[in-house]
Structure 1
């Protein structure tokens, strides 16, 4: 199996007693990832995929049966929550229990936070309440579940990104590397900053350097290919990214005690 399977689950390690948790970046298919960051009150979803297609993710407790139709998911038991990005908007939908178009919920609980395009890659960030009180919505637990199913679809290549028939552009994966996280996590006690972001030429890495520790920096593209690796020996280090292709990258800082990952957009 390709190394991208492992990369898709790069996550912040668990420290302290925070009850926040994350799925890490889950690869749905080549060039299409999703991540859910969950706190006690909110959920933040980050979808990264083709800039010229609509993007859809379904969230379910039902384990997908390989070879079965998507119709096994439905909204009658809360197993078929669907989020669609299309035409610069987020749509809150649900599985119909058949192969038809997922109907829209009576009200949308998701809010679009950002919609950025870099080259042919779109990054969509949306938020909603962790527990919306809507029976059609997936109730994200307060602690990381052992696993849950993510079904996906995308299609409608073209400038309008219209939501519609997606032919073979669909599938399912199991999100099973869910762990506790802490957005305020520091590397004992190291600041980890990257700037500017996005950038077309230089990437500045900022840490609180401690000469008694070793700091490694790595960068991966969305396909899981490592495109940079080095060590940090100062509080501030500049990396030349002018030869990197435009797109989204994961920048991972590792010390002898902890690991932290940040998302970087190369223009």
Structure 2
């Protein structure tokens, strides 16, 4: 009898863990309040942007820098705990002579609505189309971590001058399986970002930048993208950087600037 009770107890504990993980997966994937709590101060030159999604939610963004000559707009998509202000400041620091724009993800204050992979994909197109109507110009899409899936989707659906994927994963399903190997993630996961499927049939000039000590997106979740991308113009792994300390690394700064230089040179031919 005690063995039966033990087995039932373990089964109940396992079922409870799976249920909690399934119920809270959106909060874990999209920690909107954490991102909102870490908004950095912006310079007085920053411009607040607003637009409405087709289903009535408001998206709020930040613009830094000015349009300069033929330089492309840097359109950034941050990691899941990033906010648009941090993304814009990061890109502006790297490219002070470029126009930089980033929007808070849906549901990330002050944007409203409910975040999801599907919503972020749709919003990327809404943002791009709005900017295109505002003033046509070349766009480089830059995706950081989970934002790499969003940037890849945009490049799959629209024509961009370049695509930069920083610490990307091949698919969110594979990454979830990596971190929750004990759970039936294939059945429970409600959010899907198949990055590898989005890049494999597009000739968009693409740069991959990865961190050698990344434990959040392990190397095996990024490496398959190398052979899948038809027009890979830069492939760089910063060996002594991790997922979160990559951005302060001089080699990262050099790599992302080199990528944009390659895009600009190709566009001028």
Relative to the length of structure 2, the TM-score reads 0.28
Bigger helix fraction: 2
Q: Which has the higher contact order (CA 8 A, sep 6+)?
A: 1
Bigger strand fraction: 1
